[in-house]
Amino acid sequence: IKNIAVLTSGGDAPGMNACIRAVVRTGIYNGINMFGVLQGYQGLITNNIIPMDARSVSNIIHMGGTILKTARCLEFKTDEGMDLAFENLKAHDIDALVVIGGDGTFTGARRFAQRHQINVIGIPGTIDNDLYGSDFTLGYDTAMNTVIEAIDKIRDTADAHDRLFFVEVMGRDSGCIALRSAIACGAEAVLLPEKETSIDDLVKQLGAGAITKKTSSIVIVSEGHKQGGAYDIAKHVKERFDHYDTKVTILGHLQRGGSPSSFDRILASRLGYAAVNELLKGSTQMMVGLRGNEIALTSLDEALSEHNFKLESDLLEMTHVLSI
Ligand code: ATP
């Protein structure tokens, strides 16, 4: 392997820049010519591929977003798009690709490597923490810290006014951020994509809190909750329970931004370093992840066939017990 390209794809996540830096510098250290692809798979198709040196990744370790930009690219899902992407890589003599993204990104990478002679390694980069084979994905820790900071602020104003807040957090399929932030913020209840919620039980629980003189309540709603988002749930609850003035906050995209935490910077550096070393050893169609503080390899097949986040039953129970 002489030439390696790196790209970021799907939703951005804090730590992607730190990871690009690690990939580029590990490659250069090993005598590899390094390239960056702009705008994910879109840049492969439009030949938006640039050479990168050690200085191209200076002073980015602390930055959110991604200097390579990211995009969702429908054309890459077609055979023609993939063939065009491969021609562009060949024109640069690129023989291996590091992709940083979520499961869509990995699905594309696996198909690409099955169709064309190219080695690929995936790095899990998504705030959702929902990729099988890694205890943590890039960006999750930073996003959690952002969510916690925001909910703490909401708690201050909720308490001052005796209010009930419904706070919607990200997680289309995974309740990881919702459940863990509920514990970390002492929320009164949490509604998850993986679990049905009885509105009657929720109302009962909030009512019990009111009787025991709670001055505020916070209910965290995951955006992927099947019975509706924070506005819907707030409306259903308000129809049956009007003890508190009720407000809704959608945290939205602020959860994606910001300077990566120390955890995410270190994880990004470890995974970027490991990805290039694996390519140099001849690995392909694998994901590098972290399991029990060790770097672990998982085939893209396995990473894509399993679902990662299993609701921690003790955390679920604790949301009831610790919020009495
Ligand atoms: P996030 O978890 O943040 O949404 P993701 O990587 O899952 O990240 P997607 O938008 O699902 O984000 O996928 C990123 C890109 O991967 C898509 O825009 C597309 O270019 C490519 N991709 C997804 N699925 C396929 C597929 N079946 N075949 C080829 N390419 C795909």
Active-site annotation holds for 128: yes
State the closest ligand 1 atom to the C-alpha of 77, by its place in the atom list counted from 1. Answer: 29
- Residue 243 and residue 315: Cα distance in Å, rounded? 27
Residues 204-215 pLDDT 10s = 999 988 888 888
Whether pLDDT at 308 is above 80: no
Q: Is 104 annotated as a binding residue?
A: yes
Contact 7, 100 (CB under 8 A): yes
Query: Does the Cβ of 125 fall within 6 Å of ligand 1?
Result: no
- Residue 134 and residue 286: Cα distance in Å, rounded? 12
Whether pLDDT at 165 is above 80: yes
User: What is the DSSP pairing of strand 163-169 with strand 245-250?
Assistant: parallel
Residue 41: how many other CB atoms lie within 10 Å: 29
pLDDT attached to residue 310:
82
Q: Is 36 annotated as a binding residue?
A: no
SS3 322: coil
Query: Does the Cβ of 124 fall within 6 Å of ligand 1?
Result: no
What distance in angstroms lies between residue 216's CA and the mean position of ligand 1's atoms? 40
- Residue 180 and residue 186: Cα distance in Å, rounded? 10
What distance in angstroms lies between residue 106's CA and the mean position of ligand 1's atoms? 7
- 128: enclosing H helix or E strand: none
pLDDT attached to residue 122:
98
Give helix then strand counts, H and E, for the chain: 11, 11
Residue 143: how many other CB atoms lie within 10 Å: 32
pLDDT attached to residue 309:
73
DSSP designation for 125: B
SS3 115: helix
What distance in angstroms lies between residue 316's CA and the mean position of ligand 1's atoms? 31
What residue owns the CA closest to ligand 1's atom 31? Answer: 108
Contact 136, 130 (CB under 8 A): no
What residue owns the CA closest to ligand 1's atom 23? Answer: 104
The answer to whether ipTM exceeds 0.95 is yes
Mean pLDDT over each residue of the chain, to the nearest integer: 96
Query: Does the Cβ of 174 fall within 6 Å of ligand 1?
Result: no
User: What is the DSSP pairing of strand 163-169 with strand 33-37?
Assistant: unpaired
DSSP designation for 105: H
**How large is the angle between the packed helices 262-281 and 140-161, nearest 10 degrees?**
160
| CA angle centred on 168, ends 231 and 176, rounded to 5° | 140
pTM: 0.96
Q: What does the block give as tokens for 173? A: 């399929």
pLDDT attached to residue 149:
98
- Closest among 113, 169, 142 to 304, alpha carbons compared: 113
- DSSP E strand boundaries for 197-285: 217-222, 245-250
Q: Is 319 annotated as a binding residue?
A: no
pLDDT attached to residue 16:
98
Q: Is 155 annotated as a binding residue?
A: yes
- Residue 269 and residue 263: Cα distance in Å, rounded? 10
Strand partners, 168: 221, 250
**Taking residues 18-42, what's their average pLDDT?**
98
Residues 242-275 pLDDT 10s = 888 999 999 999 999 999 999 999 999 999 999 9
Long-range CB contact pairs, 43-49, < 8 A, 24+ = 43/7, 43/68, 43/69, 43/71, 44/7, 44/76, 44/84, 44/85, 44/88, 44/89, 45/73, 45/75, 45/76, 45/81, 45/84, 45/85, 45/88, 47/88, 47/91, 49/5, 49/88, 49/89, 49/92, 49/94
Residues 86-97 pLDDT 10s = 999 999 999 999
Residues 94-118 pLDDT 10s = 999 999 999 999 999 999 999 999 9
- Residue that has been written with the tokens 């419904």 in this structure: 166
**Taking residues 16-34, what's their average pLDDT?**
98
- Residue of 12, 128, 141, 264 marked catalytic: 128
What distance in angstroms lies between residue 92's CA and the mean position of ligand 1's atoms? 24
